[in-house]
Amino acid sequence: MCGIVGLFLKDPSLEPQLGALLSGMLAVMTDRGPDSAGFAVYGGGSADRLKLTLRGHNLDRVAEALSAAIGERAFGTLRDSHLVLSVPKSRDAAVRGWLAAERPDLVVIGAGQRIELYKEVGLPADVATRFGLAGMAGTHGIGHTRMATESAVTTDGAHPFSTGPDQCLVHNGSLSNHRSLRRMLEPEGIVFATDNDSEVAAGYLSWKLRQGATLAQALEAGLDDLDGFFTFVVGTESGFAVLRDPISCKPAVMAETDRYVAFGSEYRALVGLPGIEGARVFEPEPARVYAWERA
């Protein structure tokens, strides 16, 4: 069992509250996943800079050392065990080269123009507090609370998974053909950091998106190629999508108003959202792609 929450804002005036709303939703889902939690927030960014979310220890001097090495300014925002680096996009290869050579102990868990990604072991409310989720602004965000059933309780096993620029996926369920998919995707250049089945689903979508598919088309293709139980919530730089397997094995409820689209594993997670009384509350149908794009 796991819990998923997602919030995609249509009304820019809600953007300063994104983290606070998502944080409340995440805490309610503790009953479904008390082992670890994670979330991705699509915040500010600019076209000429790249944001890298790093996880590890001894993070306080990374930005300084990196700036010296590449000869351009890198900015770092430290949040507990994670560091969000902002570097010139043109120096992507140099930055990653330096990290691989000088700081191989650090894991890059997310990269893109706007995505920031955080995950840790612990109760969801504690994880959200450690990273200061309630104070984050953004256009959309996705969160996950994990109750581990198939593999160890580790930060590596926590969601969301990000396998492409500004892309992330959370998953409730389990995939049965993730080994063969992984063997197909790795020669295509999709890199996996863990043995987790959900990361393979993320990689599959990244592969489809790289080929030029829209988010909706990538998920549509996933219905044929992904075997198993799943409720996915997926984020991209400008998009937000939901897909359930054909027998809707895992729960899902959605709410839509003029101001936002919200997803929860259970309705309880949506209760604190503004104007929820007047929202259109519905259960997403099995094997049907629901996708939204920012204008």
5 forms beta bridges with: 143, 264
Give the interface segment with another protein, choosing from 4-12, 40-48, 161-169, 246-254 (CB under 8 A): 246-254
Handedness of CA 153, 169, 230, 276 (dihedral sign): positive
Give the interface segment with another protein, choosing from 44-52, 57-65, 135-143, 283-291 (CB under 8 A): 283-291
Give the interface segment with another protein, choosing from 71-79, 150-158, 223-231, 248-256 (CB under 8 A): 248-256
d(CA 213, CA 157): 27
Shortest approach of another protein to residue 277 CB, angstroms? Answer: 8
For residue 286, which amino acid is it?
P
Give yes or no for residue 266 binding another protein (CB under 8 A): yes
2 is an active site residue: yes
Give yes or no for residue 278 binding another protein (CB under 8 A): no
Shortest approach of another protein to residue 91 CB, angstroms? Answer: 48
Helix (H) or strand (E) holding 25: helix 18-28
Phi and psi at residue 229, in whole multiples of 5°?
Answer: -100, 130
Shortest approach of another protein to residue 39 CB, angstroms? Answer: 21
- Report the residue from 107, 184, 213, 253 that binds another protein according to the rule CB under 8 A: 253
Handedness of CA 205, 209, 213, 216 (dihedral sign): positive
Q: Are 173 and 147 in contact (CB under 8 A)?
A: no
| Residues labelled catalytic | 2
- Where along the sequence are the contacts to another protein (CB under 8 A)? 247-248, 251, 253, 266-268, 270-271, 281-283, 285-286
